Structure 1
Amino acid sequence: MQQSTPAPVEIEPTEAYELLGNDRRRRTLVQLRAAGRCSLAELTDAVVRRETSERPPPERLRQSVYNSLRQTHLPRLAAADVVAYDRDHQVVRLRRRARALDRYRHAAPGGMTWAEWYRNVAVAGLWGLLLIHLDVPPLAELDGLVVTVVSLAALAGVGIARVWHRRWLYRRLLFDR
């Protein structure tokens, strides 16, 4: 008997951007991705730690995060079938559909993820080297070293573009303490 793999769960871009459009929902998904499953209290603490550098965090902020997660964000994520939220036991875990949001969380310019940019540039470089090795005109006239250097420069360019694209996040992480 052949076991079938479940079909990938798709999510519409408008729904994905609406779900990811709130900082607390994004922080919730990041925490659940790391922990897998956690209590509402643990989730609240993790989100609060990401929102403030004050130690201990203000009780008003903790209460605000707890209430917004319990009343707004977790029910919204559960309605979208992204998390499973057990209100009785106050436990939250990711569902399979949450993976479909990764494409939008890690989006890069051009509608591709950064991983797709890196992969496409690397594959193009490998194809160039293969075609040179097989003496396919007009690439047969090129030196393999030139194609290698250009490919590595293109990969570096994608890396620089990624850092530039996320520069405000890095600035905030480094300097807003």
Structure 2
Amino acid sequence: MATSSESQPAQTDPAGRDEQSREGEIFDLLSNRRRRYTIHYCKREDGPVTLGDLAEHVAAWELEKEVEEITSAERKRVYTSLQQTHLPTLERADVIEFDDRTIELTDEAAELDVYLDIVPGDSVPWGVYYLGLSAVGAVVIAGLWLEVVPTEPIPKLGWATLVFALFAASAIVHVTQTRRMRLGEMERPP
């Protein structure tokens, strides 16, 4: 007996790739720091960029230096790598248009944001945070049902409003932080 996923044909994009193939290609693209830095710089500049400027900024970010401190050799090493490997790879994936000297993001590049949930190393992943917040909410609700939580100073509706307010405030912070951490939103790539 065929399962529902086996009986339905795989969805394909205009280039004839199925969703899983495209998703694997996107993760492969984003697995390389120089390609992420390229996307970040192009998003930040919001228009065509030159290969020379891109190479300088990528080298500076990789070496944690200012652009002015980059040597000719450091710039050339990144320039060559971008020109020969990374830009053609991004172009084949239809993320950029590259004409030997200038680079510009395509509309496909906007789809990459969904794959870039960047969590700083010193913070709790949002999924874990929401799980903990749900546990707190469940304890409060269970306490209200079992009449263990006091309802004298704060009525039941007040407790429910407090739990809702915690989720709403958390969602606002989450959305704000996620937008701020996207490629192209900050000076230096996340």
TM range (shorter): 0.5 to 0.7
> Percent of aligned positions with the same letter in both sequences?
31
Please give the secondary structure, in 2, of the residue aligned with 1:12.
Answer: helix
Question: How far did 1:107 drift?
Answer: 6.4
Q: Which amino acid aligns with 2:26?
A: A
Question: How far did 1:148 drift?
Answer: 3.2
2:72 aligns to what?
Answer: 59
- Cα deviation digits, residues 51-100 of structure 1 (max 9, x gap): 1233512333211110111000000000111000011xx00000001111
Q: Which amino acid aligns with 1:22?
A: N
The question of 1:91 aligning with 2:102 is answered yes
Alignment RMSD (CA, Å):
3.5
Structure with the greater relative contact order (CA < 8 A, sep ≥ 6): 1 or 2?
2
1:127 aligns to what?
Answer: none
What are the residue-to-residue correspondences of 1:31-110 with 2, within 5 Å? Answer: 31-36=41-46, 37-55=48-66, 56-87=69-100, 90-106=101-117
Please give the secondary structure, in 1, of the residue aligned with 2:103.
Answer: strand
**Alpha-carbon distance between aligned partners in 1 of 2:164 and 2:43, rounded to the nearest angstrom:** 33
TM-score (norm 2): 0.55
**Alpha-carbon distance between aligned partners in 2 of 1:102 and 1:8, rounded to the nearest angstrom:** 20
**Alpha-carbon distance between aligned partners in 2 of 1:54 and 1:91, rounded to the nearest angstrom:** 24
Q: Which amino acid aligns with 1:42?
A: D
Number of residue-to-residue matches in the alignment:
125
TM-aligned CA distance change 1:57 to 1:155, over 3 Å: farther
TM-score (norm 1): 0.58
TM-aligned CA distance change 1:100 to 1:8, over 3 Å: farther
**Alpha-carbon distance between aligned partners in 2 of 1:22 and 1:99, rounded to the nearest angstrom:** 18
Moved over 6 A (4+): 7-11
TM-aligned CA distance change 1:85 to 1:50, over 3 Å: same
Please give the secondary structure, in 1, of the residue aligned with 2:89.
Answer: helix
TM-aligned CA distance change 1:148 to 1:64, over 3 Å: farther
**Alpha-carbon distance between aligned partners in 1 of 2:56 and 2:35, rounded to the nearest angstrom:** 14
Please give the secondary structure, in 2, of the residue aligned with 1:81.
Answer: coil
Name the stretch that deviates more: 22-31 or 56-65: 56-65
Please give the secondary structure, in 1, of the residue aligned with 2:115.
Answer: helix
Structure 1 unaligned residues grouped into runs of 5+: 1-6, 109-113, 122-140, 164-177
Structure 2 unaligned residues grouped into runs of 5+: 1-12, 120-125, 134-154, 178-190
